[in-house]
Amino acid sequence: MAVEGAEPAVRTVTPSYRRLAQRFVSPITQTRGVARWILFAGLFITGVFVVAAIFAPWVAHYGFAQKRADGVSFPKRSAPSGEHPFGTNDQFYDVLSRVVWGSRTALLVVLLSLVASIIVGVLLGLLSGYLGGLLDRVLVLLMDALFSFPSLLLAIVFAFLLSERLGGGILAAALSLTVIYIPQYFRVVRNTTVTAREATYVEAARSIGAGRWTIMRRYLLPNVVHSVPVVGTLNAADAIGTLAALGFLGLGIQPQDAAEWGYDLKRALTDISSGIWWTAVFPGLAIVLLVTGLTLVGEGLNETINPTLRRRRLLPVTLPPRTQDERS
């Protein structure tokens, strides 16, 4: 009877994935104050770039590598006009189209790199934190070694190595960024798992005969990933800047593969001394706005999800009218 009664207790204590989603969404709807407006402002700014990335063929006037339309070549370094609202650059490209297509490139690279780093980092963090032993020591040593390198330097090294095998495309850029962020997710999940593996509900799961993979997948994973969305949004903002830096150094995505803001800034350096401002201002402004939007989303989520920082909306309290006996 004791064994049969232990399983419902574990199910009651351990949240399901649906409850985990509700626990994540509920604080956002209940939060008030500055944190709420920071989150909404970040979501709005990021949403604009997401819409531009999804509907780039309809938003952009031309392709990212298009130099002519209707058999007529675009003018070189043309100032903003009705035909080219953001002007053209030294390669005869339309700057507005490059900015719009660049948003698709940036978000696609960031999405691929974050998904890969979250999967690898969370999996390794669970294994290291729960199993411990030699595996834990080796993984901690490896992740600390990667974490000790400056992120941009590490990205440059891997971008150089991967460019020879995969070329200068989106996949190579995404893998270069993936290596940077795996240690962060590993640290967060591993430290939380070390504490959670001694919790009562984990001991109850062991007592009813649950295996290691069942405990990690069903009981530990929903309880150790609550910080991953916050870390992910902050890493996304950092990834935009790192991707732009790789493109500026010539180690990012090549111009014939996709539009990239960092590469456009590099090409615009020679235009600044000539008073041609539009080739650098608009790609640079896109980087600043997207990084700002993602940073606001991360800070808003941190203050919203974190119970020590969250300010809930207080519900009005209505007291029943006092009776005659209570008044006397």
Of the two residues 61 and 183, the one the predictor is more confident about is: 183
Q: 4 pLDDT band (50/70/90 cuts)?
A: very low
* 167 phi-psi bin (left φ>0, alpha ψ -120 to 50, beta other): left
pLDDT at 22 over 70: no
Give residue for tokens 């948003």.
103
The model carries a pTM of 0.80
Q: Please report the domains of the chain, with CATH numbers, ordered by start residue.
A: 2-62+103-327 (1.10.3720.10)
Contact between 98 and 283 (Cβ < 8 Å): yes
pLDDT tens-place string over residues 185-229: 999 899 888 888 877 878 787 888 777 788 888 878 887 887 788
pLDDT tens-place string over residues 100-144: 999 999 999 999 999 999 999 999 999 998 888 898 899 999 998
pLDDT tens-place string over residues 50-69: 999 999 989 888 888 888 88
Q: What is the residue-averaged pLDDT of the chain? A: 81
pLDDT at 12 over 80: no
Of the two residues 31 and 37, the one the predictor is more confident about is: 37
Question: Could you give phi then psi for residue 73, rounded to 5 degrees?
Answer: -75, 150
Question: Could you give phi then psi for residue 87, rounded to 5 degrees?
Answer: 80, -170
